[in-house]
Structure 1
């Protein structure tokens, strides 16, 4: 169990859901959502559970990729994220439900697949969350999820973290390195899955994409104010949230240009059968 994750790392509230959906989905999550939805469709499920659905990037991708008869249930710990997700037209019925991935309110063996995009890193007890996913899977069902690779393989996140480290040298905000990019070791993930009761070997695939934005300021705004990194910045003295965002925008511009910055992103996709 990870006992070092601050409570603020999982707080997606206030202005975060809107900025997350408006900026980060296209910048980071949409390419991987399409990839995960295609993998889900290839498994030909009849009932799908999504955990850590956020503002619905994967939910919308699955709504397009899966046949109309497939039942989609999308859950997240943060009701504010689901509320934002539900405002985007999706073209079919989706059940939105607030739920903790460590205590899923569903019967045993009730889903064909469990899908989770960039959520496993936030689970404070990863084997417990994987065990819950296994519990609600039907025999032969699959857990399908992705996680970010190390921060050094993700250019914008690394640049933002470095810039904030220089701005707050005595207490650098390390949310991005600690949590979104802190759970990438294949051995650790495999051990957690085994501890959760999965007997099969997980399949890993590394997927590299490009992250693009209209401006360096947009990148900085997305990371500094559209993620829980915002909570860390606001808790520190010496620079305001807007000042920190401006410093990060300058760092992005210096490395990638002020207009239409383009940086590498990299993630691992994991599939394991029950």
Structure 2
């Protein structure tokens, strides 16, 4: 399991505002334009998209939010804005819902973690009604995401003999349009539309960025599993690198994601 222990809490406090909120709003706006009656969110994490959906979709729209991690979905359920949402622990590769039961399936920055992506997309297609939409986003290459690239390079330099590579390998490793198209098509959809969306990542300080990446992602496990550096030392090193590149005080950097739309 990627997101256990202390990671979910740090993820919610730091990563959501620094990285995820702008893209959550983008997905929610795209879905709002389609007017779905029943929406399923997979890999909902701590509810960044869930909260945006709850804020913009009509009160009559049913929202079901799921995640494989019980810890993540518990945090999501505890941070709603009061609107009823059906939160469930569920595997995106084996959804516990009948065929054709949703108008839309939405997933923010979760597809990269699916061990069998075509199967996950096939499950999304199965639970969609005819004409329903699968809408998800993934990060572009890590080089197009400045905070992530700086954090990854800094942590790798601390362990040159065995550099941690989680960030580049997993969350920022599923960006090739051809590969995405192949997997979505293997899930039974027609070739999807893929759009690149640029945004700005903002944080109150370099330390917040460092805490987000070193302690709010599974790179923490890679750091902990290597001798010679503590998580505090790694966080300090990334804080220094972010401050040197982006300045003191509030910081901001470029980020880019791909938004994928596939219609059943």
Distance in 2 (alpha carbons) for counterparts of 1:32 and 1:194: 24
Distance in 2 (alpha carbons) for counterparts of 1:55 and 1:70: 20
| TM-superposed deviation, 1:205 | 1.0
What corresponds to 2:253 in structure 1? 263
> Does the residue aligned with 1:205 lie in a helix, a strand or coil?
strand
Residues 180-223 of structure 1: per-residue CA shift (max 9 Å, x gap):
1000001000011111111x221111111100111111100010
Ranges in structure 1 where 5+ consecutive residues have no aligned partner: 1-9
- Give the TM-score normalised by the residue count of structure 1: 0.95
- Give the TM-score normalised by the residue count of structure 2: 0.98
Distance in 2 (alpha carbons) for counterparts of 1:258 and 1:236: 30
Residues 160-195 of structure 1: per-residue CA shift (max 9 Å, x gap):
111111100011111110011000001000011111
> Does the residue aligned with 1:72 lie in a helix, a strand or coil?
strand
Which residue among 147, 165, 174 is the counterpart of 1:183? Answer: 174
Aligned: 1:234 with 2:217: no
> Does the residue aligned with 1:159 lie in a helix, a strand or coil?
helix
Distance in 1 (alpha carbons) for counterparts of 2:117 and 2:80: 32
| TM-superposed deviation, 1:44 | 0.8
Which residue among 245, 264, 270 is the counterpart of 2:235? Answer: 245
Runs (4 or more) in structure 1 with deviation over 3 Å come to: none
Ranges in structure 2 where 5+ consecutive residues have no aligned partner: none
Which residue among 182, 196, 203 is the counterpart of 1:206? Answer: 196
Distance in 1 (alpha carbons) for counterparts of 2:25 and 2:34: 15
Aligned: 1:18 with 2:9: yes
**Aligned residues, how many?**
264
> Does the residue aligned with 1:272 lie in a helix, a strand or coil?
strand
Residues 228-273 of structure 1: per-residue CA shift (max 9 Å, x gap):
1111111110100101111111111110113111100100001010
Q: List aligned pairs for 1:1-274, cutoff 5 A.
A: 10-198=1-189, 200-274=190-264
